Amino acid sequence: MFTTPLLLLAAAAFSLTTAAPTTQPTPSKTDSSPRITHTVVAGRPGLRFDPENIFAEPGSIVEFHFLQLNHSVVEAAFAAPCQPKDAASFYSGFFPVPKNADGSASQSKEVFQIEVKDDKPIWFYCAQDKGRHCQSGMVGVVNQKVDSGKTLEVFRTAAKGVEGPAGVQAAVQGGWRGENPNPLGGF
Q: In this complex, which beta carbon is closest to Cu ion, that of residue 72 or of residue 144? A: 72
| 3-state DSSP assignment of residue 159 | helix
Region binding Cu ion by CB under 5 A among candidate stretches 71-79, 84-92, 112-120, 171-179: 71-79
> 71, 85, 132, 156: which one contacts Cu ion (CB under 5 A)?
71
**Under a CB-based contact definition with an 8 Å cutoff, are residues 138 and 49 in contact?**
yes
Is the CB of 53 or the CB of 70 nearer to Cu ion?
70
CB of 166 to Cu ion, least distance (A): 9
Residue 68 Cβ vs Cu ion, minimum distance, rounded to whole Å: 10
The SS3 call for residue 36 is coil
Rounded-to-integer distance, Cα 40 and Cα 1, Å: 58
Q: Taking CB under 5 A as the rule, does residue 62 contact Cu ion? A: no
Residue number closest to Cu ion, CB atom: 126
Nearer to Cu ion, 33 or 133 (CB): 133
* Cα–Cα distance, 116 to 143 (Å, whole number): 9
CA distance 45 to 181: 22
- Least separation in angstroms between residue 14's CB and Cu ion is 54
Q: Per CB under 5 A, which region of 18-26, 50-58, 67-75, 176-184 contacts Cu ion? A: 67-75
Site residues (CB under 5 A) for Cu ion, limited to 123-182: 126, 128, 133, 138
Are 78 and 123 in contact, with CB atoms under 8 Å apart? yes
108 lines the binding site for Cu ion (CB under 5 A): no
CA dist 164 and 119 (Å) reads 31
Task: Examine residue 48 and tell whether it contacts Cu ion (CB under 5 A).
Answer: no
- Tell which phi-psi region holds residue 171, choosing left (phi > 0), alpha (psi between -120 and 50) or beta: beta
Answer whether 143's CB lies under 8 Å from 54's CB. yes
- Binding region for Cu ion (CB under 5 A): 71, 126, 128, 133, 138
